[in-house]
Amino acid sequence: AQKITQTQPGMFVQEKEAVTLDCTYDTSDQSYGLFWYKQPSSGEMIFLIYQGSYDEQNATEGRYSLNFQKARKSANLVISASQLGDSAMYFCAMREPGAGGFKTIFGAGTRLFVKA
Amino acid sequence: EPEVTQTPSHQVTQMGQEVILRCVPISNHLYFYWYRQILGQKVEFLVSFYNNEISEKSEIFDDQFSVERPDGSNFTLKIRSTKLEDSAMYFCASSRKGLAGGGQETQYFGPGTRLLVL
């Protein structure tokens, strides 16, 4: 069965420093997509960054970058220059291929605390 | 910027009652999804919907649940005879195309409906 593992239930980072949130995944499919979402205390799910399994370069979106290591099946999120507003829950997710619209599997999440 | 909207934001119901959670997906999106998140736990897929029929559902999505697109804009999740364990945040999402493999097609999530079953 496909699954997503986030081994860090909580992380602390000092404001303005970089932080890496770990994510490993398990799939036998060759074509898949990996996502990171942010969930602040208000509860909404905010899309951050996407990495396709065939993408050769690591995805970047502003202060977010994804360290994609396909052979190791890891897709770690790197947040550079952390801000207080980055304090939130972060979910790694994987999209399974299939017919038509299909599901995204989420990891258990990592709660990030940014210290002033 | 277009967004997915959900109503109500909060719903409290008695065990055994039926609830309908409503979603308005982004207007040019064709694929719709429901997820749930029990408090403190991960987000779980419930169902995906395309062309007026369910395209995939999880084991959570049993006969107690149903989805419908009653008109051109709304997408609803009905929970018949709610149970205490149905208490969760329910997220609606939509995407323009199907999420086929490695293609970059993002799901956009609504703000969620927090359901509390007493």
Residues from chain A that touch B104, judged by Cβ atoms under 8 A, are: 33, 50, 52
Q: Determine whether the interchain pair B56/A43 forms a contact, defined as Cβ–Cβ distance below 8 Å.
A: no
What pLDDT is attached to residue A102? 64
Q: Is A58 helix (H, G, I), strand (E, B) or coil?
A: coil
User: Which of A104, A105, A110 is the mutation pick for testing B, counting most B CBs within 10 A?
Assistant: A104
CA distance B17 to chain A (A): 25
Q: Quick: pLDDT tens for B41-100.
A: 889 999 989 888 898 888 899 999 999 998 878 999 999 999 999 999 999 999 887 655
DSSP code at position A96: P
| Phi, then psi, of A86 in degrees rounded to 5 | -80, -10
Nearest by CB to A32, from B95, B101, B110: name it: B101
According to DSSP, the residues that pair with B117 across neighbouring strands are B13
Q: Is A84 helix (H, G, I), strand (E, B) or coil?
A: helix
Q: Is A86 helix (H, G, I), strand (E, B) or coil?
A: helix
Residue corresponding to tokens 């079953």:
B117
Alpha-carbon torsion angle A67, A45, A101, A25, nearest 10? 30
**Whether residue B2 has pLDDT greater than 60:** yes
What pLDDT is attached to residue B107? 82
- Beta-strand relationship, A24-26 and B10-13: unpaired
**Could you tell me if A84 and A110 are in contact, meaning their C-beta atoms sit under 8 angstroms apart?**
no
Task: Output the 3-class SS for B38-100.
Answer: CCCCCEEEEEEEECCEEEEECCCCCCCEEEECCCCCCEEEEECCCCHHHCEEEEEEEECCCCC
Provide the token pair at B36: 């749930």
Nearest by CB to B48, from A44, A103, A106: name it: A103
Residues from chain A that touch B95, judged by Cβ atoms under 8 A, are: 101
Provide the token pair at A12: 């602390």
Provide the token pair at B42: 């991960």
Q: Quick: pLDDT tens for B9-45.
A: 999 999 999 999 999 999 888 889 999 999 888 899 9
What pLDDT is attached to residue A25? 95
Alpha-carbon torsion angle B63, B73, B27, B116, nearest 10? -50
What is the maximum span of chain B, computed from C-alpha positions, in angstroms?
42
Q: Quick: pLDDT tens for A70-98.
A: 999 999 999 999 999 999 999 999 987 65
Cα dist from A52 to A10, B12, B32, B100, whole Å: 26, 40, 21, 11
